Structure 1
Amino acid sequence: MKKYLLLAATSLLATSALADVTRHALPNNSTFPISRAVEVSPETTLIFHSGTVPGPVNPDAERGSREYYGDTETQALNVFKRMEDSFKELGVGFGDIIKMQVFLVGDPTMDGKMDFAGFMKAYTKYFGTKEQPNKPARSAFQIAGLAGGPNMLIEIEAVIARPN
């Protein structure tokens, strides 16, 4: 009997921890990899992660050039890797992100339009996958520029929920 009570209590605790974050799917069975909304319980710790920009992918190239940073997809992958390193130090992961804001600079090779498709190629490697199915609420904006220079095309900030 005690074994069953312990098992039930353990199951209840696991359910409680999972219940700290509720992700609401997009309507009409949309497969787009974001949540319509995400809610957290009052007991959840929120971490506001500052914007992350890409580092050089080719440090031998001219500093700040397109070759130095790469295209939007390359920069997004670089940003996600940098975020992953930061998350490890914080004890969280991509599945804990509840809100993401993505700032994309218009790509000069695309007549000044943001490369949303390039960003999404990188994003879908981290969100809505079999390995990491949690999807944040997300916004993406085209902006005029970033402090890093004319060929820096992306910055991502996130709100992370860590159950207590």
Structure 2
Amino acid sequence: MKKKVKTIAASAIIGTSLIACFSASAGSEEAALKSNKITFFGSASSSISSSVAVPHNYHTLSYSGTVPPLLNKDGKTAYERYGDTETQAIGILSKFKDDLEAKGLSMSDVTYLRVYITPDPNKGNKQDYQGWFNAYAKFFNTKENPVKTARSTVGVDSLVNSDWLIEIEAEVNYKGK
């Protein structure tokens, strides 16, 4: 009987603690949703956010599918002309960075990325997701830019140019000036 009472008491304490924890968490998320600042949600251990709340008083800039820059027009292979997936992704993200800076914005204003990756013939005809992840890690979730965007990464059969291994769309949100 004593064991049963202890079990019930322990269950009640744990249950109450969990309810309090979920209530506090829900309360802080609700407050964040009503904030006048962009709020990123998700696990601290993840390199991306699971969701992003953008208040109504922010502007949106959307980049359509952006493809890698040509590195060497005389290259004999796709790698020579455009590079591997990581190199291509770095080229695209660098394009975004330069364009955003020209507009008075930065990579920390990027809130969402949609990424399309094709099979890489030099990687067993499989998408080089790790190459993409490596490129992303140079621009986001860093000391210089702690933003962790919400993101989708999709494997596709091909892109318009067979040399391209990756294409990226971006959503940027910024405060009106």
- Class of the TM-score when normalised by the shorter of the 2 chains: 0.7 to 0.9
Provide the C-alpha distance between the structure 1 equivalents of 2:49 and 2:36, rounded to a whole number of angstroms: 16
1:144 is the counterpart of 2:157: yes
Q: Distance in 1 between matches of 2:78 and 2:64?
A: 24
Matches within 5 A, 1:60-139: 60-62=74-76, 65-139=78-152
State the TM-score, normalized to the length of structure 2. 0.75
State whether structure 2 residue 67 is matched by structure 1 residue 53: yes
Query: What is aligned with 1:23?
Result: 40
**Larger displacement relative to structure 2 (87-96 or 39-48):** 87-96
Q: Which has the higher helix share?
A: 2
Aligned residues: 142
Report how far residue 101 of structure 1 moved: 0.3
1:153 counterpart = 2:170: no
- 2:172 maps to a residue whose letter is I
Q: CA deviation at 1:37?
A: 0.7
Instruction: Please report how far the alpha carbon of residue 50 of structure 1 lies from its aligned counterpart in structure 2 after TM superposition.
Output: 1.4
Q: Distance in 1 between matches of 2:91 and 2:100?
A: 14
Per-residue CA deviations over 1:28-53 (Å, capped at 9, x if unaligned) read x42x2111110011111111111211
Letter in 1 for 2:59: T
Q: Which amino acid aligns with 1:25?
A: G
Which consecutive residues of structure 2, in runs of 5 or more, have no partner in the other structure? 1-34
Q: Secondary structure of 1:125's match?
A: helix
Relative contact order (C-alpha < 8 Å, sep 6+): which is higher? 1
8 Å CA contact 2:90, 2:135 repeated in 1: yes
Report how far residue 88 of structure 1 moved: 1.9
1:106 Cα deviation from its structure 2 partner:
0.9
Where 1:60 maps in the other structure, the secondary structure is coil
What residue number does 1:162 align with? 174
Distance 1:72 1:97 in 2: 21
- Which residue identity lines up with residue 49 of structure 1 in the other structure? Y
How many angstroms does 1:109 deviate by? Answer: 1.6
Across the aligned residues of Structure 1 and Structure 2, the Cα RMSD in angstroms comes to: 1.6
Equivalent pair of 2:40/2:49 in contact (CA under 8 Å): yes
Q: C-alpha offsets along residues 136-164 of structure 1, whole Å, 9 cap, x if unaligned?
A: 100000111111x2221011111110112
Percent of residue pairs identical: 35
CA distance in 2, matches of 1:152, 1:103: 10
Q: TM-score, normalised by structure 1?
A: 0.80
